[in-house]
Chain A
Amino acid sequence: MNQIGDLVGVAWSGLKARKIRTLLIMLGPIIGVAAMVSAVGLTESAKGALQAQLSQLGTNLVIAQAGGTFGSQNPTFPSNAVQRVENVSTVTGASATSNLSGVISIPIQGASGYYQAFPVPVRAADDELPSVLQVPLLDGRWLSTADTRLHLRSVVLGEGIAKQYGYLPGETRTIRLNNSNFGVVGVLGAVALDPELDNAAFVTQWAAKHVLGTNGRPNQLYIRAVPGSTQATANAIPTAISLGGTNQVSTQIPTDILQAAAQANKTLQQVALLAGLLALTVGGIGIANVMSISVIQRSAEIGIRRAVGHSRSKIGAQFLLESLFVGILGGIIGAILGVAVVYGVSAFAGWVVVIAYREIPIWMGLALLVSVSAGLYPSIKAARLEPLETLRLG
């Protein structure tokens, strides 16, 4: 144990005695590890905000859309589509909406021309929509069964349309939909998974049918599945809805698109990783080079050590340990530097920092491996040196 301690002390003092040289050969592992850590860190962090959002949204939402047989207009689902979907065992919640086309919406009394030219999409929705979407209400409340029972003409605005209409929180506002007055009861928060909903106004299915004069059949379903079985659920839904009938159903997992968008640029990552690997390799060659020269420069020291009784293997171990320390220290400094670069650039670019800390030991281990293999040849050379030749006797 003491002998290992002695060896560590000797190797350490050898590195400490030549600080500049040590730092220079450490640059290889430092740059290599820093490049690899920051390469992965930066490419991931560039998409960090999306990734964070994604993990918040959950990836288990399925949107089912009614698709008509070719050529048919305004295809719809059966009115009990929600119950049919909920028969699928992996479905945890479902909500139906229907698009009402051509509804003219006027935000305030007296406003007309401009708003008539740009109709707002109006959606009939059931009570469950916010809970299935997992989106909070920014203001007021969602449509309720009371609205249906009492035949209230309530409307909830999407976040975007609330802004456009200049709706203030808590304000009592009446808007006109196809010449009928509707009272605004709430504002739905932004729906990241289906941004179309942000620009819609929501009414009850009763109002859609009886006030706005549509058939009230749903044509779009929002479905939450058991996490992990999203795709299977999406595959099962068309059958569950049509039950062998003629209904055409197309399903979509909105997070798939987001997920693709949140995917870090793998090609860039690989190129940067390759550059890091290259830096490490070149660094390794540098270590081998400098250490070889160092062995020649320190031949007198080696001769002295041999004369006072250090064996060949101890001399070899001394030099190998020096390169081991270079690899360890270079790896640690490189990792710190790489993390610092990721934090620095992310702060500057406004990214959410994503660092795969679990991968860092791999890069550090790689730096260690390269350093030790680079030190192998010089160490063997040092061990083989003949003390008689280096001491210049006589």
Chain B
Amino acid sequence: MSTQPFDTPPYGVPRTAPPGVLRTDGEPLLELENVSRVYGEEIEVYALRDVSLRILPGEFMSIVGPSGSGKSTMLGLLGVLDLPTSGTIRVAGQDVSTLDDPTRSKLRGNSIGFVFQQFHLIPHLTALGNVETALLYRDIAPRDRRERAYHALDQLGLSARADHRPVQMSGGEQQRVALARAIVTDPLMILADEPTGALDSANAAHVLDIFRSLESAERAVVMVTHDPTVAGTARRKVSMRDGRIVADEQRVEATT
């Protein structure tokens, strides 16, 4: 069972893959194999129909599509918040359907960093407290936890905001706190749901810059969006319609 907390090395120290987690280049971080998600019992509604997708380390990808295309369902499945009706989802080589809730929760916490459109910070906690939330129940000493959370905030230029509550911060700042919460566990994959949807253009641009800076050889960044600008930032664009993937394009970058 490779549920060893993924955060054993202190943040910032070059990490090595923990035992049991597949990190080899070319091995998918996350793999969907003939996945369908059906809602309803008497009248079956296919939110996702026979979808296969591989997300590799180092990928920067967007999932686009009109509303009702199955984006949200896809997000839930990619984030291990939901399970497929049929088909297989493997995260770091593990079939998530076979895991019990505590193990799946641990896998989710260790492998995936979420960023939401509505930021989704816990209102009664400070910026630091919100980032620390992602490090709870991992047998980390409170002092280390605080230090790592502060470091993540500092990386995103929010060290001065550490003691502020969400209501005391602007939307852009809140989304950066959410980003700090997503990266503090050093996940395999950042999964963002319309990350700039609630931001003005200046803040949106800033947040997108940060997403670009999060690219690394080991980590994948996945953004679910309907915004062409956001989608255009990514190097791979997966288009969805009616619960199916209709296009999967790699953007060819001009290298100079």
Say yes or no: is B210 at the interface (Cβ < 8 Å to chain A). Answer: no
Interface members, chain B 127-148 (any A CB < 8 Å): 129, 133-134, 136-137, 139-142
Of A18, A307, A308, A313, the contact of B101 (CB 8 Å cutoff): A313
Contacts of A244 in B (CB 8 A): none
Residue contact A309 to B142, C-beta cutoff 8 Å = no
Say yes or no: is B67 at the interface (Cβ < 8 Å to chain A). Answer: yes
Residue contact B76 to A388, C-beta cutoff 8 Å = yes
Residue contact B224 to A309, C-beta cutoff 8 Å = no
Residue contact A13 to B125, C-beta cutoff 8 Å = yes
Q: Mark B99-124, 1 if CB is under 8 A from A, else 0.
A: 00110011111100010111011111
Least CB separation from A308: chain B residue: B134
How many residues on the B side are at the interface (Cβ–Cβ under 8 A)?
40
Say yes or no: is B186 at the interface (Cβ < 8 Å to chain A). Answer: no
Residue contact A17 to B124, C-beta cutoff 8 Å = yes
Say yes or no: is A306 at the interface (Cβ < 8 Å to chain B). Answer: yes
Say yes or no: is B75 at the interface (Cβ < 8 Å to chain A). Answer: yes
Shortest distance between the CB of B147 and any CB in chain A (Å): 15
Contacts of B75 in A (CB 8 A): 393-394
Shortest distance between the CB of B119 and any CB in chain A (Å): 10
Say yes or no: is A140 at the interface (Cβ < 8 Å to chain B). Answer: no
Shortest distance between the CB of A17 and any CB in chain B (Å): 3
Shortest distance between the CB of A99 and any CB in chain B (Å): 82
Docked CA distance A392–B122 (Å)? 15
Least CB separation from A392: chain B residue: B118
Shortest distance between the CB of B188 and any CB in chain A (Å): 13
Least CB separation from A315: chain B residue: B105
Least CB separation from B141: chain A residue: A2
Of B123, B129, B136, the contact of A310 (CB 8 Å cutoff): B136
A18, A312, A388, A394: residue with the most chain B Cβ atoms closer than 10 Å: A394
Shortest distance between the CB of A129 and any CB in chain B (Å): 74
Contacts of B176 in A (CB 8 A): none
* Given known A-B contacts A312-B105, A391-B120, A6 and B136 have beta carbons under 8 A apart: yes
Residue contact A308 to B67, C-beta cutoff 8 Å = no
Of A31-39, A88-96, A297-305, the one touching chain B? A297-305
Say yes or no: is A176 at the interface (Cβ < 8 Å to chain B). Answer: no
Of A9, A10, A303, A313, the contact of B120 (CB 8 Å cutoff): A303
Residue contact B67 to A304, C-beta cutoff 8 Å = no
Say yes or no: is B193 at the interface (Cβ < 8 Å to chain A). Answer: yes
Residue contact B124 to A14, C-beta cutoff 8 Å = yes
Contacts of B172 in A (CB 8 A): none
Of B107, B109, B141, B142, the contact of A308 (CB 8 Å cutoff): B109
Say yes or no: is A5 at the interface (Cβ < 8 Å to chain B). Answer: yes
Docked CA distance A303–B181 (Å)? 14
Interface members, chain A 354-387 (any B CB < 8 Å): 387
Say yes or no: is B57 at the interface (Cβ < 8 Å to chain A). Answer: no
Interface members, chain A 258-290 (any B CB < 8 Å): none
Residue contact B124 to A2, C-beta cutoff 8 Å = no
Residue contact A304 to B193, C-beta cutoff 8 Å = no
Contacts of B31 in A (CB 8 A): none
Of A308, A387, A391, the contact of B133 (CB 8 Å cutoff): A308
Least CB separation from A390: chain B residue: B120
Least CB separation from A307: chain B residue: B114
Residue contact B133 to A394, C-beta cutoff 8 Å = no
Shortest distance between the CB of A325 and any CB in chain B (Å): 15
Shortest distance between the CB of B75 and any CB in chain A (Å): 5
Least CB separation from B126: chain A residue: A13
Say yes or no: is A145 at the interface (Cβ < 8 Å to chain B). Answer: no
Least CB separation from B118: chain A residue: A392
Docked CA distance A18–B125 (Å)? 12
* Given known A-B contacts A18-B124, A308-B114, A2 and B105 have beta carbons under 8 A apart: no
Residue contact A309 to B67, C-beta cutoff 8 Å = no
Docked CA distance A3–B142 (Å)? 10
Contacts of A310 in B (CB 8 A): 105, 109, 136-137
Residue contact B133 to A305, C-beta cutoff 8 Å = yes
Least CB separation from A312: chain B residue: B101
Contacts of A16 in B (CB 8 A): 124
Residue contact B81 to A388, C-beta cutoff 8 Å = yes
Docked CA distance A307–B79 (Å)? 8
* Given known A-B contacts A311-B102, A312-B101, A3 and B224 have beta carbons under 8 A apart: no
Shortest distance between the CB of A23 and any CB in chain B (Å): 16
Say yes or no: is A314 at the interface (Cβ < 8 Å to chain B). Answer: yes
Q: Mark A6-29, 1 if CB is under 8 A from B, else 0.
A: 110110011011100000000000
Docked CA distance A308–B102 (Å)? 12
B120, B141, B194: residue with the most chain A Cβ atoms closer than 10 Å: B120
Docked CA distance A309–B133 (Å)? 9
Least CB separation from A394: chain B residue: B72
Contacts of B136 in A (CB 8 A): 6, 10, 308, 310
Residue contact B72 to A309, C-beta cutoff 8 Å = no
Least CB separation from A298: chain B residue: B122
Residue contact A311 to B106, C-beta cutoff 8 Å = yes
Say yes or no: is B71 at the interface (Cβ < 8 Å to chain A). Answer: yes
Residue contact A393 to B193, C-beta cutoff 8 Å = yes
Chain A interface (Cβ within 8 Å of chain B)?
A: 2-3, 5-7, 9-10, 13-14, 16-18, 300-301, 303-314, 387-388, 391-394
A-B contact pairs, 26 of them (CB 8 A): A2-B140, A9-B142, A16-B124, A301-B122, A303-B120, A304-B121, A304-B122, A306-B81, A306-B108, A307-B79, A307-B81, A307-B108, A307-B120, A308-B114, A309-B185, A310-B136, A311-B137, A312-B102, A387-B81, A388-B81, A391-B120, A392-B118, A393-B76, A394-B67, A394-B75, A394-B193
- Apart from A312-B105, A387-B81, A394-B67: 13 A-B pairs, beta carbons within 8 A: A2-B140, A6-B136, A7-B137, A18-B124, A305-B133, A308-B108, A308-B114, A310-B105, A311-B137, A313-B102, A393-B76, A393-B116, A394-B194
A-B pairs, top 3 by smallest CB distance, nearest first, are A309-B109, A394-B72, A17-B124
